[in-house]
């Protein structure tokens, strides 16, 4: 009986508690992790294109395929409205314009997927193919980051 009262009491307290900091922690953590995965794979392709890493056709193809998979994910659950940097409790640089101008964001995401698709189609075909497609990949990233991501705080 005491246990039931304790559980009921705690449930009442938590139900009455306002939403506090950390409401979007899981979503923000997930989207940051996805961006790290993309950056990791872009870094390998970029290093090959710059000549700071030897070109390896199999690795380039695997990395490009992974980048395409990561760029093709449906991310809606990672980006709930209110999870931007307009709430100081959110540890993110995502600007609230992501939600107010959503069709633009979706268009930029499509551009990234198209660039990743093109890279995945040719990455194993030679260094020149990787080099020729790096610009479009970079533009795909910048398409969202530049207008919809606040600069890092110093």
Residue 84 lies inside a defined structural domain of this protein: no
For residue 85, being part of any structural domain is answered with no
Residue 62, helix vs strand vs coil: helix
Distance CA 149, CA 154 (A): 15
| 52 domain residue, yes or no | yes
Please list, in sequence order, all residues whose beta carbon lies within 8 angstroms of the beta carbon of residue 80, skipping any fewer than 6 positions away. 24, 27
3-state secondary structure of 19: coil
pLDDT above 50 for 4: no
Q: First CA to last CA across the chain, in angstroms?
A: 55
Task: Please report whether residue 8 resides in a domain.
Answer: no
Task: Provide the b/e sequence for 72-97 (b: ≥16 CB within 10 Å).
Answer: eeeeeebbeeebbeeeeebebebbee
What's 97's domain CATH number? 1.20.120.10
* Domain presence at residue 37: yes
Nearest-angstrom CA–CA distance, 1 and 102: 51
Question: Based on the structure, what is the number of domains in the chain?
Answer: 1
Structural domain span for residue 108: 24-73+90-148
Give the pLDDT band of residue 105 (cuts 50, 70, 90): confident
Residue 7 falls inside a structural domain: no
Query: Is 136 in contact with 118 (CB distance < 8 Å)?
Result: yes
pLDDT at 1 over 50: no
Q: What is the pLDDT of residue 51?
A: 97
Give the span between the Cα atoms of 94 and 79, in whole angstroms: 9
pLDDT digits (tens, 9 = 90+) for 35-46: 999 999 999 999
Task: Say whether 124 sits in a helix, a strand or coil.
Answer: helix
pLDDT tier for residue 21 given thresholds of 50, 70 and 90: low
Residue 19 domain-assigned? no
Indicate whether 82 belongs to any domain: no
């Amino acid at each position: 009986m005491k246990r039931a009262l304790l559980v009921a009491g705690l449930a009442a307290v938590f139900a009455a508690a306002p939403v506090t900091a950390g409401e979007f922690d899981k979503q923000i953590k997930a989207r940051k992790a996805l961006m790290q995965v993309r950056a990791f794979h872009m870094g390998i392709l970029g290093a090959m294109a710059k000549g700071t890493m030897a070109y390896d056709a199999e690795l380039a193809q695997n990395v490009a395929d992974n980048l395409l998979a990561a760029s093709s994910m449906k991310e809606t659950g990672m980006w709930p409205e209110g999870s931007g940097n307009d709430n100081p409790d959110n540890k993110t640089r995502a600007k609230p314009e992501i939600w107010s101008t959503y069709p633009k964001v979706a268009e930029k995401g499509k551009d990234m997927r198209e660039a990743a698709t093109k890279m995945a189609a040719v990455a194993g075909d030679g260094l020149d193919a990787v080099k020729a497609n790096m610009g479009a990949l970079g533009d795909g990233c910048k398409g969202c980051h530049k207008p919809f991501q606040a600069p890092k705080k110093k």
